[in-house]
Amino acid sequence: MHPAPLSSPPDTLDVARVRADFPALHQEVYGRPLVYLDNAATTQKPRAVIDRIVRFYERENANVHRGVHRLSQDATDAMEAARATTAAFLGAASPDELIFVRGTTEGSNLVAATWGPMHVRAGDEVIVTEADHHSNFVPWQQLCTSTGARLRVAPVDDEGALDLDAFKALLSERTRLVAVAHVSNVLGVVTPLAEIIRLAHDAGARVFVDGAQSVPHLPVDVQALGADFFVFSAHKVYGPTGIGGLYVRADVLADMPPYHTGGGMIDVVTAERTTWAAGPHRFEAGTPNVEGIVGMAAAFDYLTGLGLDAVFAHEADVLASATARLRALPGVRVFAANAERAGVLSFAVEGAHPYDVGTLLDRLGIAVRTGHHCAQPLMARLCLPGTVRASFAVYNTREDADALAEGVARVLTMLG
């Protein structure tokens, strides 16, 4: 029932050593070793990230900025060093282009609430795609509703890839913003981002990139891409939950008004008026999630230390192995199997609801995600109630791919 093994896996990454760095992987579920394949939802955390957060609480815990005592200075230094680390990982020109947000969802809402009303008005147009996650669809839909602008939805083909000709046809002098995911969270399809950005800029539009699924699996250089906005969540790239980053190109950020107001984002406050802090601090009201910020930087340091080329090559190999094995199973449909993908394998089992498949796999110790994956427009395009989604990370192996295929084979037998 299973295809012959593929060629030898890459030997540039010591996966056994990597797996040893992740405590959560070494447990059993229902008496079986955990096979964790829900990384597009959230990744497990390496000891380096866990230890960094513990060290912050044990040695540096204090509120940041304006404190003259040593702990406050240490916490501030750690936070701003983390900003520099994160900005460098994204290829930003300066740390001052990096705003700390709670994650991808807050980043898109921040831009929709600040830059949006200043630049999008009645009669203007915003382009999204059928494949976008709700967090990169609904904020722009709501912006258009509130301003009288028109939301245009660029279609995807049967493989889930953006129909580039249709996208070009939507662009016009009325287009103010193009919002697009770098990698689909449902299908893993990689968007031709550089070309989309070039086309959008030629039309006079800004581009907002949802990088939640690309930062863990692909090299990202926001300057080379020419992105105006780029957002990601740390918890999808081995960091803590509740923290992420929003890159905004310096000239675009300069005229954006605050998102929230309060402490930490002001310059001068009088009874008559308030002026705002410069740069990213203008968007970081209140006490920040400092432990999350330093944990996020530790995740980037950890990933960089493994060697990004080796990480991405290893993940691509595991994805290819899993795809080949599932495609060989009768009654299993793998979506976007022929498209360029990163990190994600979405499939359906003939005659079975995705929830049932996911539940049965769970009893075998295999963690996957099921449902519409917060992408209902894409599910409508594909005429599906949902999919089963297996998603991969640096610590996954070909053995995990084998376990998935064997688990699905058992599900097929059960459904018989």
Which sequence spans correspond to the domains of the chain?
A: 15-45+307-415, 50-304
Q: What is the pLDDT of residue 3?
A: 34
Helix, strand and coil percent figures for the chain, each rounded to 5: 45, 20, 40
Q: Is pLDDT above 60 for 10?
A: no
Burial of 69 (0-12, 13-18, 19+ CB in 10 A): exposed
Distinct helix (H) and strand (E) counts, the chain: 15, 17
Q: What is the pLDDT of residue 1?
A: 33
CB contact set of 165 (below 8 Å; sequence gap of 6+) = none
Q: Report DSSP state, residue 182.
A: S
Predicted model pTM = 0.95
Burial of 168 (0-12, 13-18, 19+ CB in 10 A): middle
Burial of 415 (0-12, 13-18, 19+ CB in 10 A): middle
Q: What is the pLDDT of residues 373-386, one digit of tens each?
A: 998 999 899 888 99
Q: Is pLDDT above 60 for 11?
A: no
Reported as a pLDDT band with limits 50, 70 and 90, residue 6 is: very low
Burial 22-34 (b: 16+ CB within 10 A, else e): beebeeeeeeeeb
Q: Report the catalytic residues.
A: 374
Q: What is the mean pLDDT of residues 306-331?
A: 97
Q: What is the mean pLDDT of the chain?
A: 94
Residue matched to tokens 């954006």: 256
Separation CA 367–CA 377 (nearest Å): 25
C-alpha distance from residue 29 to each of 6, 110, 253 (Å): 29, 39, 47
Looking at domain 50-304, which of 3.40.50.620, 3.40.50.300, 3.40.640.10, 3.30.1360.10 is its CATH number?
Answer: 3.40.640.10
* 110, containing H or E segment: helix 104-113
Residues 286/97, Cβ–Cβ less than 8 Å: no
Cα 107 → chain centroid: 11
Cα 75 → chain centroid: 27
Residue 382: closest CA among 140, 135, 137, 155? 155
Q: Is pLDDT above 50 for 2?
A: no
Q: Please provide residue 330's backbone torsions phi and psi, each rounded to the nearest 5 degrees.
A: -65, 140
CATH 3.90.1150.10 fits 15-45+307-415, yes or no: yes
Angle at 19 between CA 17 and CA 22, to 5 degrees: 120
